[in-house]
Amino acid sequence: MRRVRWGLVKQQMAVQLLVRTLNFSSLSLFILQPAVFSAVGMLLSRAAGNAVPDLVYSVIGGGIMGMWSGIVFTSTYDITSDRRNGTLELITGSPTSLASIEAIRTFTNVLCGFFALLVAFAAAMGIFGYSLEGANLVGAGISLLLLLFAMWCSGVFLANFLAWSRISGTFVEYLEMPMAILCGFMFPMRVLPGWLQTVASVFPIRWALEAMNESLLGMRDLSYLGKHWLIAGGLCLLLMLVTNWLQNKVQDKIRVNGELSSI
Amino acid sequence: MIKALVRRIRLYIAQAWLSYHGRFSITHPFGYITSKLGFPFFLMIFFIFMGKFVGFSDPLYIVIGNLLLIPANNGMAGITLAIGDERGWGTLSYVLGSPAPRAPVFIGRAIFYIVDGFFTALLGFVIAAGIFHMDLSGVGLWLLVLCTFLLAVTASGIGFLFGSISLISRDGWTVLTTFIQALYILVGVNFPVDALPGVLQKVAYGLPLTRGVMAARLVLDGAGWSAIRSLVVGETLIGALYSAAGYVIFRIIEKRSTISGTLDAL
């Protein structure tokens, strides 16, 4: 049984990498777009008269941006293209649940997004001389794991959201930038007005990312970091519950209609 | 003579109408508005917060720059999609095989995107004036309209170029979107071109939009025609150059494909 599951994971990851992720379009999202955003951040900083840009937000934040863009578009494109190609019904009707397949696909997307983050780290350290000296590495590591988990939960949620509602695609495509604003991908949360910070507090990515950025900047206050980790973890679990609810709604709809094409 | 002229104008208008139907007639108003203003609006807000964080004291600079890029994006993306989609859906052979002359067919399709981008930018200015309290009282509105329209037209030159690329490459659209992202750095949208390193400044001046954006900014600062004339002329020339290059490349690809017996090159 366990071997069969590993086989599924391996197979789905291979398909995802070959068909969806390893192409010019996705690599552009993961690598080129973050580079552009980082360049804008650094040049804005230069135009503002700063001698040195803030590397955590300008460069590493660009990597987070690439990670998120890649996950939004690949995860939503998965469902959209399955629907367009007529394979969504076949996947939903197969003995393996749609949720399992989407979970593995999104995991692959998150790993590719993590590659974007690694590139951003490498660029920050290799090109701009960013040093991890003084950073809270343990805190940053835990926060990074939570961030990846939050990204995965969000990706799975978006994929299931699209399976649940065709019209949701209209909204999902515009999620890229609002999330980047609300979660403070390339600037600290304190830059946002108070009411936007309140709105942002429902997203797990925001809490995990803030904890990671603060850890990289040397924050060691365990109560501050612990609070962020707990909130991020709790919101992730909540997102998973909503995702599960959406998936059941899809299955119910098919059972009631008796038509796979209703999704 | 007049009959032939009318026939040709009809062809331009028919193609513009087809272009609209192909892209937006199946979209509901919400989808249309969000596709026009949604992404640029949020991207602009994102850049404003980035600027606020690094201490860039002039958010209106970012607002205006991003608004001016709307008609440009429309011109570039719309035309690239208009050509690329024909290939994608396998209908390019029918278009190229028809007796209709090429120029009206493709320029006609561009007209819709130029007009659409132009009005979207004007709408953006009205919304931004309300939200960001832009003072337009001392602005030469006709000059601003001219600059906005010019940006839409010159950007369509790049659209033709990338549309031609999409005939020989399946990644034409991705190449264009990457190029559009580069414009956020190069053409003075978020910060002055002077803030760029020397080499990039030279690249910026070799692109359409740079001078157009500069001219529009001067107009918004209250400058008159004499102050922007050289920039407008430069922008027009560069735009014409890119349009000509796009058209020539398109004809070369078309000719090559007829020789090889494949109407859509790949």
| B148: pLDDT strictly greater than 60 | yes
The owner of tokens 């028809």 is B98
Residue A33 lies in a domain: yes
Residue A7 lies in a domain: no
The owner of tokens 């494109």 is A77
Q: Going by C-beta distance under 8 Å and a sequence separation of 6 or more, which residues neighbour residue A253?
A: A262, A263
Alpha helices in chain B (DSSP H): 2-23, 29-33, 39-54, 59-88, 92-97, 102-131, 141-168, 172-186, 198-205, 210-220, 225-260
For position B92, what pLDDT does the model report?
76
Cα–Cα distance, B83 to B166 (Å, whole number): 7
Pull the structure tokens for residue A86.
């007529």
For position A191, what pLDDT does the model report?
92
Residue type, A7: G
Task: Please report which confidence band the pLDDT of residue A82 belongs to, taking 50, 70 and 90 as the band edges.
Answer: confident
| B220: pLDDT strictly greater than 80 | yes
The mean-pLDDT minimum among A156-170, A186-200, B55-69 falls in A156-170
Whether B55 sits inside 8 A of A50 (CB atoms) is yes
Most B CBs within 10 Å: which of A21, A36, A40, A60, as the mutation test of the B interface?
A: A40
Residue A65 lies in a domain: yes
**Mean pLDDT score of chain B:** 82
Over residues B255-263, the mean pLDDT reads 72
CB-nearest to B55 from A24, A25, A48 is A48
Counting residues of chain B whose pLDDT is more than 70, the rounded percentage is 92
Residue A59 lies in a domain: yes
DSSP structure class, residue B91: -
Q: For residues A68 and A167, which has the higher predicted lDDT (pLDDT)?
A: A68
Q: What is the pTM of this model?
A: 0.83
Cα–Cα distance, B217 to B205 (Å, whole number): 16
Over residues B19-32, the mean pLDDT reads 64
Over residues B27-48, the mean pLDDT reads 78
CA of B66 vs chain A CAs: smallest distance (Å): 13
| B152: pLDDT strictly greater than 80 | yes
Q: Is B244 on the interface with A (CB under 8 A)?
A: no
Query: What would the pLDDT profile of A125-153 be if each residue is shown by its tens digit?
Result: 887 777 888 889 999 999 999 999 999 99
| B17: pLDDT strictly greater than 50 | yes
Q: Is B46 on the interface with A (CB under 8 A)?
A: yes
Q: For residues B70 and A228, which has the higher predicted lDDT (pLDDT)?
A: A228
Distances (CA, A) of B95 to B90, B92, B187, B258: 10, 5, 35, 13
Question: In chain A, which residues have their Cβ closer than 8 Å to the Cβ of B53?
Answer: 54, 57, 186-188, 191
In chain B the first and final C-alpha atoms are separated, in Å, by: 39
Task: Please report which confidence band the pLDDT of residue A227 belongs to, taking 50, 70 and 90 as the band edges.
Answer: very high
**C-alpha radius of gyration, chain A, whole number:** 19
Residue A53 lies in a domain: yes
User: ipTM of this predicted complex?
Assistant: 0.85
Counting residues of chain A whose pLDDT is more than 70, the rounded percentage is 91
| B26: pLDDT strictly greater than 70 | no
Nearest CA in chain A to B55: A48
Over residues B88-102, the mean pLDDT reads 75
For position A4, what pLDDT does the model report?
56
The structural domain count of chain A equals: 1
For position A165, what pLDDT does the model report?
67
Question: In chain A, which residues have their Cβ closer than 8 Å to the Cβ of B49?
Answer: 181, 187, 191-192
For position A232, what pLDDT does the model report?
96
Domain interval for residue A243: 20-257
For position A258, what pLDDT does the model report?
67
CA of A92 vs chain B CAs: smallest distance (Å): 27
Cα–Cα distance, A253 to A259 (Å, whole number): 9
For position A3, what pLDDT does the model report?
55
Question: In chain A, which residues have their Cβ closer than 8 Å to the Cβ of B178?
Answer: 28, 32-33
Residue A13 lies in a domain: no
Q: Going by C-beta distance under 8 Å and a sequence separation of 6 or more, which residues neighbour residue B46?
A: A177, A180, A181, A186
Residue A95 lies in a domain: yes
For position A1, what pLDDT does the model report?
46
Cα–Cα distance, B144 to B219 (Å, whole number): 6
Q: What are phi and psi of B151, to 5 degrees?
A: -60, -40
Residue A61 lies in a domain: yes
| A9: pLDDT strictly greater than 90 | no
Residues 184-213 of chain B with CB under 8 A from chain A are 184-185, 190-192, 195-196
CB-nearest to A50 from B43, B49, B54 is B54
The owner of tokens 């002229």 is B5
The owner of tokens 């157009």 is B212
For position A234, what pLDDT does the model report?
96
For position B126, what pLDDT does the model report?
83
Over residues A114-119, the mean pLDDT reads 84
Give the DSSP letter string of chain A. -HHHHHHHHHHHHHHIIIIIISSHHHHIIIIIHHHHHHHHHHHHHHHTT-SS--HIIIIIHHHHHHHHHHHHHHHHHHHHHHHHHT-HHHHHHSSS-HHHHHHHHHHHHHHHHHHHHHHHHHHHHHTT----TT--HHHHHHHHHHHHHHHHHHHHHHHHHHHH-STHHHHHTT-HHHHHHHTTSSS-GGGS-HHHHHHHTT-HHHHHHHHHHHHHTT---HHHHHHHHHHHHHHHHHHHHHHHHHHHHHHHHHHHH--GGG-
Residues 76-135 of chain B with CB under 8 A from chain A are none
